[in-house]
Amino acid sequence: MRRNPSHDRGVHHSADYAAPKRKRHIKTNHVVRLIRPTECSLLVKEMKTIIQPANKDTIRIVAELLRQGKLVAIPTETVYGLGADAKNPDAVKRIFTAKGRPANHPLIVHISDKAALNDWAIEIPELAWKLAEHFWPGPLTMVLKKHPDVPMEVTGGQNTVALRVPSHPVALSVLQAFGGGIAAPSANRFCRISPTRASHVEEELGDKVDMILDGGACQVGLESTIVDLSAAQPTLLRPGQISKSEIEEFLQVKLELPENNKQIHAPGMMEVHYAPITETFLCTQDQVKDILQGDAFQHQHKMGIASYFTKIESDLFAKIITMPNDVDGYAQCLYGTLRALDDAVLDLILIEQPPQTEEWLAVNDRLAKAAKVLTNW
C-alpha cells in the first residue's frame, strides 16, 4: 500500500528550490528586506517572459500576486493549476473567465496541510481525517461540507467544497508563502487537454495568466482521485493514481460510484473532457491490425497514433508515438502525447486501448472522455 505517492516518485522542480519562510523578503547585496506590492509589480514588469523558474524570489512574487487578486499557474504533481485566492470571489471569477468554464463547475481548493481542513469545511467525518493523515500530501481530493466563509463562487453554488494538499514542493511552498487556500483547476481552456508542463499553460492561456511558475514536468500526469465524504456513504467521483481498491482497503469501507444523472459535484465529471481539437478515436488492438492492412480510403487521411500493444512500422501514419507499458509511465505522458498528436496537423488521431483493469481505471477514464470509440472504419 502506498502512503504518500510522492514519496516513491521523484518530483521535478527548480534546482534552487527551498521551502520559504512565511515572511516575504528578497536579498539585495546580502541585505534582507520586505517585498512591497509596488515592488512586486515592478519585478513582474521587468520579467521578459511569463514563464519563470520556481525559486525563492518567484515563489514570493506569486504569493503577492495572489494577494492582489491575480491569476498564476503553479505546478502540482498531477497537472499545472490555474490559481487564485480562494477567499476572493472576484479573483475566483477570473479563473472561470480565463478558462471559459461554466460558473456551476466547482473548483478544488489547495491547502498547505490537513490542519487547514477546519478553515474550509464543517462536520468533517473521521474518515476524512484518516485519509488526510494517510494520503496527504498527495493526489487525493476530498469533497466535504463547506465552511460558511467559503465563497459560493469556489463551490459552483453548492454547499460542499473540494480540498486537497498537493505534494509538489513548489506548490506547497507557494501555499506556505501565500498563507491561505488557492483555488486551482487545471490551467487550460475548458474541456481541453490538461497541461503537464509550463509551456502547455502558455500555449493554452497566454496573457490570461499573470505568471507561470515552471516546476518541471508533472510526475503523476493525471488529475487527483476525488472522494465525496459529504454524505453518509463515501463516493468515488473521479478515479486517479490512488485507486478505489486502495482507499477501500485502507478505510475498510466500500466506495460507491456516482449516479449518471447526478449534478456535477466535482471537477472532471463531464462526458467530454481532456480532448484534442483533432478528431480522436479509441480503438482495439484488432482494429489497429485491420487499419495497418490499409486501403485507398485510409491513405487519404493524415493519421497519427498512440500505440500500446502493437509495434507499428508503417508509413500509413504520419506520426507514431509508442506509449509506455507501465500504468504510471503511461499516465505521466498521456496528456503530452495527446498534445503532440494534436499539434501535428492531422486529420485523425487513433489511440490503441491500453489494458482495461482496475489499475488502469484512471487512464481509461481520461481516454473515454478525450476520444470517441471507433466502431466502423
Q: Is 317 in a helix, a strand, or coil?
A: strand
In a domain, 267, yes or no: no
In a domain, 269, yes or no: no
> Cα(4)–Cα(76) distance, rounded to whole angstroms?
14
> Cα(23)–Cα(33) distance, rounded to whole angstroms?
10
Domain stops at, among 210, 230, 251 = 251
Q: What is the SS3 assignment for 151-185?
A: CHHHHCCCCEEEEECCCCHHHHHHHHHHCCCEECC
User: Domain check: are 247 and 293 in the same one?
Assistant: no
Cell of 201: 499553460
Q: In this structure, are residues 211 and 58 in contact, taking their beta carbons and an 8 Å threshold?
A: yes
> Cα(110)–Cα(72) distance, rounded to whole angstroms?
13
In a domain, 23, yes or no: yes
Split into its structural domains, the chain has a count of 2
User: Domain check: are 74 and 202 in the same one?
Assistant: yes
In a domain, 240, yes or no: yes
User: Domain check: are 219 and 286 in the same one?
Assistant: no
> Cα(165)–Cα(119) distance, rounded to whole angstroms?
14
Give the per-residue pLDDT at 57. Answer: 97
Q: In this structure, are residues 138 and 246 in contact, taking their beta carbons and an 8 Å threshold?
A: no
Q: Which residues contact 370 (CB under 8 A, 6 or more apart)?
A: 193, 273, 274, 275, 276, 280, 338, 351
User: Domain check: are 54 and 139 in the same one?
Assistant: yes
- Hunting for cell 487499419 — which residue is that? 291
Which pTM does this prediction carry?
A: 0.86
Domain stops at, among 251, 272, 298 = 251
Cell of 267: 471537477
Q: In this structure, are residues 305 and 346 in contact, taking their beta carbons and an 8 Å threshold?
A: no
User: Domain check: are 107 and 24 in the same one?
Assistant: yes
User: Domain check: are 157 and 47 in the same one?
Assistant: yes
Give the per-residue pLDDT at 313. Answer: 87
Per residue of the chain (377 residues), what is the pLDDT tens digit? Answer: 444 444 333 333 333 334 333 333 333 232 233 445 555 555 555 555 699 999 999 999 999 999 999 999 999 999 999 999 999 999 999 999 999 999 999 999 999 999 999 999 999 999 999 999 999 999 999 999 999 999 999 999 999 999 999 999 999 999 999 999 999 999 999 989 999 999 999 999 998 999 999 999 999 999 999 999 999 999 999 999 999 999 999 999 999 998 754 555 555 555 556 789 999 999 999 999 988 887 644 566 899 999 999 999 888 899 999 999 999 999 999 999 999 999 999 999 999 999 999 999 999 999 999 999 998 76
In a domain, 256, yes or no: no
Q: In this structure, are residues 165 and 138 in contact, taking their beta carbons and an 8 Å threshold?
A: yes
User: Domain check: are 247 and 286 in the same one?
Assistant: no
User: Domain check: are 220 and 368 in the same one?
Assistant: no
Domain stops at, among 231, 251, 271 = 251
User: Domain check: are 30 and 98 in the same one?
Assistant: yes
User: Domain check: are 87 and 147 in the same one?
Assistant: yes
Q: Please report, for the domain that includes residue 292, its CATH number.
A: 3.40.50.11030
Q: Which residues pair with 373 in a beta bridge?
A: 282
Nearest to 121 by CA among 165, 163, 179, 172: 163
Nearest to 179 by CA among 122, 110, 121: 110
Give the per-residue pLDDT at 375. Answer: 86
**DSSP of 226-292, one letter per residue?**
EEE-SSSS-EEEE--SS-HHHHHHHHT-PPB---TTS---STT-SSS-S--SS-EEEE-HHHHHHHH
In a domain, 72, yes or no: yes
User: Domain check: are 9 and 148 in the same one?
Assistant: yes
User: Domain check: are 196 and 296 in the same one?
Assistant: no
Give the per-residue pLDDT at 292. Answer: 87
In a domain, 272, yes or no: no
Give the per-residue pLDDT at 49. Answer: 62
Q: In this structure, are residues 211 and 66 in contact, taking their beta carbons and an 8 Å threshold?
A: no
> Cα(245)–Cα(248) distance, rounded to whole angstroms?
5
Q: Where are the beta strands (DSSP E) in the chain?
A: 26-28, 31-33, 51-53, 72-74, 81-85, 108-110, 140-145, 160-164, 182-183, 211-214, 225-228, 235-238, 280-283, 303-307, 317-322, 348-352, 372-373
Q: Which domain holds residue 25?
A: 5-251
In a domain, 68, yes or no: yes
Q: Please report, for the domain that includes residue 96, its CATH number.
A: 3.90.870.10
Nearest to 101 by CA among 124, 126, 81: 81
